[in-house]
A and B are shown apart, each in its own frame.
Chain A
């Protein structure tokens, strides 16, 4: 079966610019996650969707980050404006039904803000 697809793989932008990441989860997976992984740290959950509703976005910096999951399938994560500290790998994952079922991860988008 096809895995979780993310694009782009790499992105370099200047601070204060905007950027968007795209994720296509595994077909039939109801739960979709966006994580931020700063170098040397574990993934930090930014937002979790169940179908097209938000389960948790408590750690999403809502003044600059936004995410949507239209029609409960694909998702986009946007940063506007970017800061230097946003440099990280942004991981998308999906699971069949909730966090107790196995999460499958994409390869991530490495963002560098200069």
Chain B
């Protein structure tokens, strides 16, 4: 079935470091891809999305590019801040119109 695989955390970085969180997917057809973020004490919220191959989603300095050839949607940010500390979830919406999540990656940024 369709699925999303994320790198295990926690990812621990110093402020202003470069961030990559890997995400790969398995799906039939052409899913839409998402990154959701869960800040401490808050609900899940959409960070960015991409709906077709080679699309780049971006928001708040984060970027991810839909790579069909490698079935990947890695999340990147050039310079992280302490306020970016959160759990990040990669997700896809499949042909059956279901929204499927990965297991999440915790990011901890220290000053």
Contacts and interface: CB of A to CB of B under 8 A. Distances in A.
A55 B94 CA distance: 13
B49 interface: yes
B98 A99 contact: yes
A42 B46 contact: no
Contacts of B4: 42
B62 interface: no
B25 to A, nearest CB: 13
B44 interface: yes
A107 B43 contact: yes
Interface stretch (B11-19, B67-75, B77-85, B101-109): B101-109
B43 A105 contact: yes
B47 to A, nearest CB: 11
A44 B3 CA distance: 11
B100 to A, nearest CB: 7
Interface in A74-114: 91, 93, 95, 98-100, 102-108
Contacts of B102: 42
A41 B99 contact: no
A50 B4 CA distance: 23
A99 B49 CA distance: 12
How many chain A residues sit at the interface, stated as a range, is 20 to 34
Contact of A105 (B45, B97, B100): B45
B36 to A, nearest CB: 8
A4 B49 CA distance: 20
B89 A99 contact: no
B110 to A, nearest CB: 22
A108 B41 CA distance: 10
B51 interface: yes
14 contacts: A4-B43, A42-B102, A44-B101, A48-B97, A48-B99, A55-B97, A93-B44, A98-B93, A98-B97, A99-B97, A100-B97, A103-B44, A103-B99, A104-B46
Given A45-B99, A55-B98, A105-B45, 5 more contacts: A41-B103, A43-B101, A99-B32, A99-B94, A105-B43
